Amino acid sequence: MSKQKLTFNPLSAWINKDEKKPLIISGPCSAETEEQLVNTGLALKKLNVSAIRAGIWKPRTKPGTFEGNGAAALPWIKSVKEATGLPFATEVATPQHIEEALKYGADILWIGARSTVNPFTVQDMADALKGVDIPVLIKNPINPELALWIGAIERIYNAGIRNIAAIHRGFSTHRKTKYRNEPLWGIAIELKTLFPDLPIIGDPSHITGKRTAIYEASQKALDLNYDGLMIESHLDPDNAWSDAAQQVTPAALEQILAALKTRQTTSDDAMFINHLEDMRHQIDDVDRELLEILAQRMNIVEKAGEYKREHNVTVFQQDRWSEIFKTRPEWAEKMKINKDFVAEMFKLIHTESIRLQTEVSEREKIKA
Ligand SMILES: C=C(O[C@@H]1C=C(C(=O)O)C=C[C@H]1O)C(=O)O
C-alpha cells in the first residue's frame, strides 16, 4: 500500500525506559480544573505511569456539551508537570492548538480520530510541526480506512518527526456492537505488518466506552503485542464532565495494571521452541491438505460452470447458495468451529466460484 520506507524511533528511545513493560499513559478525559488535574496526576505518579494525559480542547459530537477549558487550562500543564515530574500529553486539532500547547510546555501531542480522517487538517498540523522536536501520537481515523491512518502518519513523518506512535481507539460503526468503537483488530495488525517498527498503543477507554471492559480490551491489546496503553482515569469518574462511563479511578487502574499479563513475543526455552516447531509442522501438513481439498472443490465448480454454459443456465444459483450458506455454519457448529467464521469463509469461496464460472462462460463467448 505504501511505498515510502519509514523508520521510527522505538518508545524506549524517548519515553518507555523499561521496554519489558508496556508504556502506560493515563489521566482524565478532560482537564476540568487545576486541582483535579494535579491531584489525578499525583495519584497516577504512584502507579509509575510514563505520562499524564488530559484533553484541553475536546472535539465533541454535539454542541452544548463540555468542549474542554481551552486556553484557560493551558497554565495547568506547568502545574501538573511540576507536581509529578511526568511528561504531559494532550490532543491538538489545529495549528493554533499546537502553538499554544508547545508554548505552555506540553511534551507529547496526539492527533484525534476526527482529525486523522481529514488530510487537510493533518497537513495543516504537519506544517505547524516542521522543525519542532516533539513526539506525536496518531489515533486511527473514525472510519475503518487503513490508508487514511497511514496517510496521517506519513504527513507527520514528512514534517521530520520520528518519535511517532499509532493509537488504536477503535472505529465508528452504524451496527450495534459490544463496544463504543468497534476495535477491528485486523486493521491495527495490518498497520503493524506494514510498519513493523511503528509503536502501537491501545486505547481501551475509547474502544470499549465502559469501565467494566477496560481490562479485557487492555489484555487483548497486550496479547497482540501492543507497545502500550492509554487509559482514561478520573478521581470521581461518575461526575466527570466528559466520557464519565469509560473513566476509571486511579485505584481501579492500579488493579487493572496489576492483573494484566505481559507476554513475550517468544521464549528462549528450548522445550517450548521444539514443541511449537512440531505443532507448526503439523499445521503445514494440514494446510497443504486443506488446499488440495479446496483445489478439488474448485475443479468441480469449474466443471459445473462448463455444464451450465452448455445448457445455457445462469452461473449464480440463489437456492443452492442459500442452502450452502445455511448448512455449512450448522455443520461447523457441530464440529465446534466458529460458525460466523465458517459463514464468512464460504462467502469468500462462493465469490471465487462465481468468478471462476463467469470466466468459464466468457471463455466460450470469446471462442464463438
Ligand atoms: C457450483 C455452483 O455454482 C455457484 C457456486 C456455488 C458454490 O460454490 O457452491 C453454489 C451455487 C452457485 O451460485 C452450483 O450451482 O452448484
Kindly write down the DSSP assignment for every residue of 256-324, as one continuous string.
HHHHPPP--S----HHHHHHHHHHHHHHHHHHHHHHHHHHHHHHHHHHHHHHHHHTT--S--HHHHHHH
Is the CB of residue 36 below 6 angstroms from any atom belonging to ligand 1?
A: no
Dihedral over Cα of 193, 199, 204, 209: its sign: negative
Which atom of ligand 1 sits closest to the CA of residue 308? 15
Which of 350, 352, 359 has most ligand 1 atoms within 8 Å of CB, for mutation? 350
- Cα 313 to ligand 1 centroid, rounded to whole Å: 12
**Quick one: cell of 87?**
511528561
User: Which is the closest atom of ligand 1 to the Cα of 301?
Assistant: 1
pLDDT at 304: 98
Residue 364: its pLDDT value, please? Answer: 67
Asked, for residue 221, whether it belongs to a domain, the answer is yes
Q: What is the pTM of this model?
A: 0.85
Indicate if 21 and 95 belong to the same structural domain.
Answer: yes
CATH number at residue 359: 1.20.59.10
CB-ligand 1 contact for 360 (6 Å cutoff): no
Residues 222 and 306 in one domain: no
- Single out the residue of 216, 214, 196, 198 nearest to residue 206, CA to CA: 214
Alpha helix (H) residue ranges in the chain? 34-45, 75-84, 95-103, 113-116, 119-129, 146-158, 185-194, 204-208, 214-223, 250-259, 270-310, 318-334, 339-367
Residues 279 and 255 in one domain: no
- Provide the phi-psi class of 156: left if phi over 0, else alpha when psi is between -120 and 50, else beta: alpha
ipTM: 0.95
* Grid cell locating 198: 511503528
Provide the pLDDT for residue 3.
61
Cα 324 from Cα 352, distance rounded (Å):
15
- Number of structural domains (the chain) is 2
Same domain? 250 vs 277? no
Ligand 1 atom closest to the CA of 357, numbered from 1: 3
Gap from CA of 316 to ligand 1 centroid (Å):
6
| Beta carbons of 131 and 97 less than 8 angstroms apart | no
Residue 251: how many CA atoms within 13 Å on its side-chain side? 3
Which atom number of ligand 1 is nearest to the Cα of residue 316? 13
Same structural domain, 63 and 211 = yes
Rounded Cα distance between 117 and 122, Å, is 8
Ligand 1 centre distance from Cα of residue 108 (Å): 55
Residue 165 near residue 228, CB atoms below 8 Å? yes
Rounded to whole angstroms, the Cα distance separating 210 from 261 reads 21
Ligand 1 neighbourhood includes 304 CB (under 6 angstroms)? yes
Residue pair 179/207 in contact (Cβ under 8 Å)? The answer is yes
In a shared domain, residues 91 and 35: yes
Distance between CA atoms of residues 289 and 68, nearest Å: 58
| Ligand 1 atom 2: residue of nearest CA | 301
pLDDT in tens, the chain (368 residues): 546 689 999 999 999 878 789 999 999 999 999 999 999 999 999 999 999 999 999 988 888 889 999 999 999 999 999 999 999 999 999 999 999 999 999 999 999 999 999 999 999 999 999 999 999 999 999 999 999 999 999 999 999 999 999 999 999 998 889 999 999 999 999 999 999 999 999 999 999 999 999 999 999 999 999 999 999 999 999 999 999 999 999 999 999 999 999 888 888 899 999 999 999 999 999 999 999 999 999 999 999 999 999 999 999 999 999 999 999 999 999 999 999 999 999 999 999 999 999 999 998 666 65
Residue pair 161/169 in contact (Cβ under 8 Å)? The answer is: no
Q: Is residue 2 part of a domain?
A: no
Amino acid letter at 200? Answer: I
Based on the domain organization, do 280 and 157 belong to the same domain?
no
Q: Which domain holds residue 293?
A: 270-367
Q: Is position 3 within any domain?
A: no
Domain boundary at 208, 232, 259, which?
A: 259
Residue 346: count of CB within 10 angstroms of its CB:
18
For residue 263, what pLDDT is reported?
83
Helix axes 146-158, 185-194, angle to 10 degrees: 40
Same domain, 237 and 275: no
Q: Is the CB of 355 under 6 A from ligand 1?
A: no
Q: Are residues 55 and 183 in the same domain?
A: yes
Task: Pick from 353, 355, 359 the residue to mutate for probing ligand 1's pocket: most ligand atoms within 8 Å of its CB.
Answer: 353
For residue 325 and ligand 1, the question of a CB distance below 6 A is answered with no
